[in-house]
Amino acid sequence: MRRTLVLTALAFGGAVYLCAQSEADLRDSFEGRTVVVKQDLPASKTGIDIFPDSSSPINYADYGRRIKQFGVAIRRNQSVPLTSVRVNDKSIELQLGGSATAEADNASPAASVAVEKSPRERALERDIQNEADPERQAKMQQELDTLRRQRQREDARLKAALAQLASSTDDRQRAAAAVSHINLLFPGGVPARALNPDYVKSALRSWIDFPAAERPAASTTAPSDDNFPAAGLHKGMTETELVHLYGAPVKRETGTEGDLRVEILTFKRDGSTLEATMVEGVLVRFRQWSD
């Protein structure tokens, strides 16, 4: 009797070990991979339910109700990360989107950034107070007013560009936060064959496309956002000031935002990388991480 109990315990322990190993294999095969969604997925915690061993794997009426009730979290043909896989007694749950390890991009491109006064404008503001000649003072005031209007126009253009950049950032954050789930359900319990990655791929073939490309290795060091900048680093800096801190940029990408010049400068110093977004030569946001 005792021998029977021991053998039963060993067999049970072996089954648990096999299941754990198989779940680990599923997670290693799928978690972190970018997949392409073939059909809209609902924005609900329950996601969609698939019965792989049934002649009717999905209840499309129920699927339609969830889409109508909760809306769409992930659109057809959208690429998203497969962020987690969990094996339960009667289901295999897959989460798509909503990666907790997404890059820490800065929250917004600082609406407080403003175009600085030029040296000439500052000099005129100083000298006009000491000018005794009314005619010269009037000419100085005229030049000062012109410089102020130019700066105000540049300031308005810069703020418009910042608003557009902030909108783009919000769109990326919303896309990164979109989450849905796919549940493979087995009323009689998860069979051993279902713990094979190829079986899971086959069960999901109508819903997910797994690109053949290699899954990139996960970064061990997440970029830090500009809420925790390095000493001396702050929004509103000029390229000259950045070069003084970090040296010449090792990479420069130039583009436009409307009629504004936008550059992304990459600096490297002391084993760290700084990526700085400049609008009309003014630092509006940045990311920094260890190499």
pLDDT tens per residue, range 68-109: 888 888 888 888 899 899 999 999 999 998 754 334 344 445
* Residue 198 resides in a domain: yes
140 part of a folded domain: yes
Give the residue with greater pLDDT, 224 vs 125: 125
Q: Is the dihedral of CA 248, 249, 250, 252 positive or negative?
A: negative
* Residue 260 scores a pLDDT above 80: no
| pLDDT above 80: residue 9 | no
Residues 43 and 183 occupy one common structural domain = yes
pLDDT at 205: 93
Q: In 183-238, which ranges are continuous DSSP H helix?
A: 197-203
Beta 208-209 vs 251-257: how paired, if at all?
Answer: unpaired
- Same-domain status, 79 and 188: yes
61 and 18 housed in the same domain: yes
Shared domain for 21 and 160, answered yes or no, is no
Q: Give the Å distances, CA to CA, from 73 to 8, 43, 207, 227.
A: 46, 4, 14, 29
Paired tokens of 241: 């000031």
Q: Are residues 91 and 183 in the same domain?
A: yes
Angle between helices 119-127 and 134-177 (to 10 degrees): 140
| Same domain assignment for residues 26 and 136 | no
159 and 184 within one domain: no
30 lies in the same domain as 146? no
Which one of 209, 232, 257 terminates a domain? 209
Tell me, yes or no, whether 32 and 134 share the same domain: no
Residues 70 and 163 in one domain: no
In a domain, 268, yes or no: no
Per-state percent for the chain, helix, strand, coil, to nearest 5: 40, 25, 35
Q: Mark whether 32 and 49 lie in a shared domain.
A: yes
Q: Give the count of domains, the chain.
A: 2
Question: What per-residue confidence (pLDDT) applies to 170?
Answer: 56
- Do 58 and 159 lie in one domain? The reply is no
| pLDDT tens per residue across span 98-152 | 754 334 344 445 445 666 788 888 899 999 999 999 999 999 999 999 999 888 8
Domain ranges, residue 192:
2-98+178-209
Q: Which of these, 37, 165, 53, lies nearest to 113 by C-alpha position?
A: 165
